[in-house]
Amino acid sequence: MRPRVFCGIAAAVALFATGCSSGGDGSGDTTTGGGSAQASAAGAFPVKVADCAGKETTVARAPQRIVSTDAAALEMLLQLGAGDRVIGTGFPPGKGSLPAAVAEQGAKVPVLGDTLIPKEKLLGSGADLYVDTFGPMPGMGAAGAGPTEEELKAVGIQHVLLLSTACASGPKAASGPRTDLAGVAEDVRRLGAVTGTAARAQELVAAMDQQINEVKNATAGVPEAQRPGYFLFDFDAGTKQPLAVCGKQIANAVITLAGARNVFSDCDADFRPVSWEDVVAKNPDWIQLAVRNRGSEDANRKAFDEAEAFLKGFPATQGLKAVQEGHFLRIGSEVTTIAGIRNADTVRQIAATVHPALVKNGQ
């Protein structure tokens, strides 16, 4: 993994962490690796899950001591109702980054690593399940490799990947841009099956489906050529060289489902550094000021203000259509670039902004 691309992934993680089904979008599975959890009935065990290469792991019983790699995996566990069994996490959630309903519980989860959990600490944690958002991260060298499957097995830890993120840019990743959230919905179902919370998982997926289908139906009559160009400005990844979200990133699906066109959807990756000249050539109609949650409304407002001021003051971007027309969206990075249940909320929020006559936010 190239260092700059890793920085993009680290940014997406940290943005979240440090404040870096039923005929709808959730049906099916567009990830690779065979992903579906197989159980004879809701909440039944054993459950079989596969990794990015299709290798299966059998979970014989509901885990009681769970460790998550980061705040994204932690939030999914909390939303599923398995938070009382989480004994530790890496990349802890920043203040204000978790939904209010689970924030208090999430804040009590022990932090095993400010970034990736050190291998020795993970192996000695006493966990029986490790929920991993990313898999190996070569860009971090030895630290990013993590324990081997053999080492995890030796201490009784089973390893489950969130395929929608872990398999996004690997050699077996699906070809073409990601245009739906089926992989995210499948991760919710998989994790629900593994933790014995399958019924809750179905509820969460159904709610995602309903929200996304409402937006898709509302914008169905907008021809592709008339869908506005959209650029996600990852402010926290730095301003010297912009980092684009590409076709294989979750954000591409979020933007597409909202009835917009990610101007960098044609790059065959999840993240890729581009130049400001590239952004100018795309001349987006709308720009998302993607900043991480700073922990308070005032701090978030200041960060959004700084991102907007940069684009208005930077000579290369002053003349962009979106800048000239003040077409900015103030939406956090976490709910756009990190796979999770709140991606559906972001779809509606973007759609309500770029298609206000068709979609009403919250309705």
Nearest of 34, 30, 35, 110 to residue 74 by alpha carbon: 110
Q: Are residues 177 and 245 in the same domain?
A: no
Q: Are residues 118 and 182 in the same domain?
A: yes
Question: What is the four-CA torsion angle of 352, 354, 357, 363, rounded to 10 degrees?
Answer: -10
Question: What integer pLDDT is reported at residue 307 of this predicted model?
Answer: 98
Q: Are residues 173 and 240 in the same domain?
A: no
Q: Residue 3, class by beta-carbon neighbours within 10 Å (0-12 exposed, 13-18 middle, 19+ buried)?
A: exposed
What Cα–Cα distance (Å) separates residue 111 from each residue in 15, 60, 108, 118, 161?
17, 27, 9, 11, 20
Question: What integer pLDDT is reported at residue 46 of this predicted model?
Answer: 94
Q: Are residues 279 and 190 in the same domain?
A: no
Q: Are residues 20 and 152 in the same domain?
A: yes
The pLDDT tens digits for 200-214 are: 999 999 999 999 999
Q: Are residues 317 and 179 in the same domain?
A: no
The answer to whether residue 204 sits within a structural domain is yes
Nearest of 99, 282, 121 to residue 204 by alpha carbon: 99
Give kind and range of the element (H or E) at residue 230: strand 229-234
- Chosen domain end from 209, 241, 268: 209
The pLDDT tens digits for 274-327 are: 999 999 999 999 999 999 988 889 999 999 999 999 999 999 999 999 999 999
Q: Are residues 81 and 199 in the same domain?
A: yes
Nearest of 126, 130, 135, 112 to residue 155 by alpha carbon: 126
Domain membership of residue 193 as a residue range? 3-209
- Chosen domain end from 209, 244, 273: 209
Token pair listed for 164: 């929608």
Q: How confident is the model at residue 331 (pLDDT cuts 50, 70, 90)?
A: very high
Number of domains within the chain: 2
- Chosen domain end from 209, 235, 260: 209
Is the Cβ–Cβ distance between 348 and 359 less than 8 Å? yes
CB atoms within 10 A of CB 274: 19
Q: Residue 320, class by beta-carbon neighbours within 10 Å (0-12 exposed, 13-18 middle, 19+ buried)?
A: buried
Of 8-22, 73-87, 158-172, least confident by mean pLDDT is 8-22
Largest Cα separation within the chain, whole Å, is 60
Q: Are residues 233 and 179 in the same domain?
A: no
The pLDDT tens digits for 143-170 are: 556 899 999 999 999 999 999 888 876 6
| Torsion sign across C-alpha atoms 129, 132, 135, 139 | negative
